[in-house]
Amino acid sequence: MASTLGAACVIPFASTASAQCAARDVLQNQLKFKARSPPASQQPIRSARDVATWKTITIGTFPDSLTLRNALDSKGCNVGGQAAEILARPTFTVSSRKTNVELVDLSPAQLGFTSHTVTLASVYARAQQLGLELAEAEVGPQLRIQYFDQPIGEFLIIGMEPIKTWSGEPIILNVANGGAGLILIGQDGRSEADIPVTSRFIFARSHQPAASTDVVGSVAAFLPP
């Protein structure tokens, strides 16, 4: 994953007036939105009800994946090579209707794992057993452009079905701030991939129709109202 992070950080940011993912803009957002959620407890949970909703985002705000990728570019959000590949794959789709998705943020340790690492498949199985859902692939890039005040050093693994690159490598997404600005990167999505128990995962709690459930037909503004 380290090599992926390195590659992602050297991609230049978009130099547009609306860019919000560059390091200086992230700092401004952090100063503007001073209130932050306290660190999540590492105590094991018994069910999805034991963990509070971390953030609610909206998906289905773009007509297709290309427009979504253009939105990332317009905001100056860095996209790593593997992430860019899966965003371009036919299996990466976006919702045709605006939907609010409640997200939870937790670690494998909170899911009850006590070893130093655990397989991705085990994390997914335990999360679903406790009543959480895998997030749709669109959640990764949507979270990236709806989370501009992400603190430095935070890496959030999207609990999602892996999407294969052109060479067949299964990849999942990671929404991160490595210090050089906000990025969306890919990481090993194999079932047997080892994940540190202190890693942070984003899972979905529920999907609710947004205020307007019309099929998306216009993206005059890249961010949902």
- For tokens 């547009």, the residue is 16
Say if 27 falls within a structural domain: yes
Say if 95 falls within a structural domain: yes
Structure token pair of residue 198? 């202190």
Question: pTM for the full model?
Answer: 0.80
Report how many domains make up the chain.
Answer: 1
Residue 89: closest CA among 69, 103, 107, 61: 69
Say if 225 falls within a structural domain: no
**pLDDT at site 151:** 94
Considering only residues 182 and 10, tell me which one the structure prediction assigns the higher pLDDT.
182
Say if 173 falls within a structural domain: yes
- For tokens 């199985």, the residue is 125
Q: How many H-runs (helices) and E-runs (strands) does the chain carry?
A: 6, 10
Say if 165 falls within a structural domain: yes
Say if 1 falls within a structural domain: no
Residue 222 has pLDDT above 50, yes or no: no
CB 148 within 8 A of CB 71: no
Domain assignment of residue 66, given as a range: 21-31+44-209
**pLDDT at site 44:** 87
Say if 143 falls within a structural domain: yes
